[in-house]
Chains A and B, each alone.
Chain A
Amino acid sequence: MSEAPDLTEAEALAAEHALGVLDARERADAENRMARDPAFAADVEAWRQRLAPMLDSIAAVPAPQGTWARIERRLPANDDRMAPANDNGRLLDRVRFWRNSAMGGFGAAAAALVAALVVGNQPATVVTREVPVQPQGQLLSASVVSQDSRVQPLFVAAYDPDRKQLIVTSLLPEGSDRDKVHELWLIAGKENPKSLGLVESGKAKVIALPTELLAKMADGAALAVSLEPPGGSKNPDGPSGPVIGVGKLSKL
């Protein structure tokens, strides 16, 4: 194994970051690069995977008594269900809160999801719809976040299998990216992304899903949004512009 080819500069840096030999400034640079360079981030991740088995040989030692209780006290949203739990839990808590209050039904939940997210965020159109029945199928939701700053979602979506509809709301400021459009994609398994159409900044939209896509709307599939020229991606099999955010569909 003496003739191993040298690593490229980028990969060497990724490996050094995973190993932990960079100094504080270089580490910060590497973290920043991971946020904006997915290939580099993937290299770092791959190196973490390669090196992690070194941890396997460390013997297990029972954690001190009472550690779990201390962890539990530190989990957010302990008493206040409106407080952030975790990225998804926060959404779900809010949705459940609203759904349980008064109105019930999917429309209210989805509208509340939108309303709750808009608080402290950019203004967005809130959809309220009359929904007479309690849904039977499994509701799914997704929060589409940018890879760089995962703090604020860019889009939120809720899928109702009974109505075969996806409600998607852009939380971006109305009129942003004037000469570009935002295209929504469904990513399921290894297939090419399927376009779900365009979503205007700051607007909500109800998308009636074609039958062939219904089976693909499942827990674990993901939604993504790309920045495209007017009219949408020129490529029928996927985005032609940069992907600005992704989010997994998960059970509501």
Chain B
Amino acid sequence: MAAAATSAELLNPLMARIAAGERDALRQLYDATSAKLFGVCLRILSDREESEDVLQDVYVTIWRRADRFDAGKASVMTWVSTIARNRAIDRLRARGPMAYAEQVEELEIPDGQDSAETLLSAADDRNRLQGCLSELDDRTEKVIRTAFFEGVTYEALAKRMDAPLGTVKSWIRRGLAKLKGCLQS
């Protein structure tokens, strides 16, 4: 997706129009963001059919909640991506506990290698987060990424990693505290 197509100048006014009930504005937002959001759903669900289903939910949700979008708090892209991620994780959870049977080691977790295109889009936030995540110890980074992309609960994480729940909890809490400190510095 070209950086220009997702710029705030283009997307912010769309949100106001969607909030006012303009269907054409939702269509424009769909054109500008659906490939990205479908990618997010697919990354979390690994299933095209389910991902398309969730993608529909996502745009219906955006339509209903557009009036709650606050340009001062989030970029449109972040806002809609978060909705897509949360919806996809809800769907993942609905599959039941078996969905979490996989071992952490076997999961393919992208190591943050970026294509030239995404690098060019100059996502400072992403680069900063990437940098701060990589400063965590490997295990903590992996656990946080796994939790984020799969919505895996503490309990399931503890089972997967064969570690006591309290231990996993303290890894994550410490990791999040460090992350915050690093992002602020």
A67 at the interface (CB under 8 A from B): yes
Contact (Cβ within 8 A) A45 B125: no
Contact (Cβ within 8 A) B67 A248: yes
Query: Which residues of A are found within 8 Å of B86, using beta-carbon distances?
Result: 20
Contact (Cβ within 8 A) A20 B89: yes
Contact partner, B144, options A19, A61, A85, A87, Cβ 8 Å: A19
Query: Which residues of B are found within 8 Å of A179, using beta-carbon distances?
Result: none
Residues of B within 8 A of A (CB): 1, 16, 18-23, 26-27, 30, 34-40, 42-43, 48, 52, 55-56, 59-60, 63-67, 73-74, 78, 81-82, 84-86, 89, 93, 110, 112, 114-115, 118, 123, 125-126, 128-130, 132-133, 135, 144-145, 147-155, 157, 172-174, 176-183, 185
Contact (Cβ within 8 A) A21 B42: no
20 CB-based A-B contacts, threshold 8 Å: A1-B185, A2-B178, A4-B174, A6-B174, A7-B173, A12-B176, A16-B172, A21-B153, A22-B153, A56-B126, A57-B118, A60-B38, A61-B35, A62-B35, A71-B60, A74-B56, A86-B21, A87-B19, A250-B16, A250-B19
Q: A60-B39, A62-B38, A68-B30 are in contact. Are A86 and B63 (CB under 8 A)?
A: yes
- Residue of chain A at shortest CB distance from B56: A71
Most buried by B among A21, A50, A68: A21
Query: Which residues of B are found within 8 Å of A1, using beta-carbon distances?
Result: 132, 135, 178, 181-182, 185
Query: How far does the alpha carbon of A20 sit from the alpha carbon of B147 in the complex, in Å?
Result: 6
- Residue of chain B at shortest CB distance from A48: B82
Q: A1-B181, A71-B30 are in contact. Are A88 and B21 (CB under 8 A)?
A: yes
A173 to chain B, nearest CB (A): 25
Query: Which residues of A are found within 8 Å of B181, using beta-carbon distances?
Result: 1, 4-5
